[in-house]
């Protein structure tokens, strides 16, 4: 079995662009995955597809590019461990969990991540504060501290557990420079794109310049009149072209 380093530049991805396949049909997802493979470093699958088609779809997409399962597991430690293992077994290379699950769950997941990396490159990504939230839309129990302080506290918890993968908005990237974290950033939009329900956004170039390891882009690509052209524009924008 081959061990892969967690220090690889793009982690388990081919390049930093993760395209979110947030569609309702497995055939549509597979068509997009095949058509956009020139640009995709990996593909994100969430509950919208996985609850319909299960691990079989993950296995099929993983043959095209690395799969990022984004179901944000948040449960007791043993249940989270079992869920992450199941995702790995179906071909996933990245999986999200909630940092809010606490130090015991995250520490056990760090041990599982190390074990799974003996087989192939794999990362557990800890979600901090959703990019659809801002201080006005926070649940009441979150309103004592500003958004960036909540994110900082959760990332400190992640690092204490032994994990290093974090999902955060592009607005928080500058908080984590020099911390040796693998930072996956949603909320990515070109200037011409609608923000949709994202509250904290940046352009691909701004996010990469600020230290993102990988970017998640969904609707600006898959809802475009020409997804291939939109994916190309995002890819070029990442390097400022």
Q: Domain-by-domain residue ranges, the chain?
A: 17-238
Residue 72: active-site member: yes
Distances (CA, A) of 134 to 129, 139, 191: 9, 10, 20
Confidence at 49, pLDDT banded by 50, 70, 90:
very high
Mean pLDDT score, 137-154: 75
Say if residue 93's pLDDT is above 80.
yes
Specify whether the CB–CB gap between 50 and 69 falls below 8 A.
yes
Query: What tokens were used for 183?
Result: 């930072």
Output the CATH code of domain 17-238: 3.20.20.70
* Lowest mean per-residue pLDDT among 6-15, 22-31, 58-67, 226-235: 6-15
Task: Please tell me the pTM assigned to this model.
Answer: 0.89
**Tokens 């890819």, located at residue:** 235
End-to-end Cα spacing for the chain: 40
**Tokens 């930072």, located at residue:** 183
Q: Which of 44, 72, 199, 202 is catalytic?
A: 72
Say which DSSP state 112 is in: H
């Amino acid at each position: 079995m081959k061990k892969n380093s967690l220090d690889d530049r793009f982690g388990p991805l081919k390049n930093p662009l993760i395209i979110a396949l947030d569609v309702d049909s497995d055939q549509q997802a597979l068509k997009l995955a095949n058509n956009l493979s020139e640009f995709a470093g990996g593909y994100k699958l969430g509950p919208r597809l996985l609850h319909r088609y299960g691990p079989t779809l993950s296995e099929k997409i993983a043959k095209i590019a690395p799969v990022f399962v984004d179901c944000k597991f948040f449960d007791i430690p043993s249940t989270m461990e079992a869920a992450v293992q199941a995702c790995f077994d179906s071909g996933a290379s990245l999986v999200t969990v909630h940092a809010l699950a606490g130090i015991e769950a995250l520490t056990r997941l760090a041990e599982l991540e190390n074990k799974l990396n003996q087989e192939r490159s794999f990362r557990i990504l800890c979600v901090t504060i959703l990019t659809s939230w801002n201080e006005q839309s926070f649940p009441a129990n979150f309103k004592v501290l500003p958004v960036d302080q909540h994110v900082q506290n959760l990332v400190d918890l992640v690092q204490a557990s032994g994990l290093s993968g974090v999902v955060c908005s592009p607005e928080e990237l500058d908080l984590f420079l020099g911390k040796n974290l693998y930072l996956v950033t949603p909320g990515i939009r070109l200037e011409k794109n609608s923000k949709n329900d994202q509250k904290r956004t940046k352009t691909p170039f701004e996010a990469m310049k600020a230290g993102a390891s990988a970017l998640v882009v969904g609707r600006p690509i898959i809802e475009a009149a020409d997804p291939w052209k939109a994916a190309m524009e995002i890819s070029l924008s990442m390097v400022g072209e």
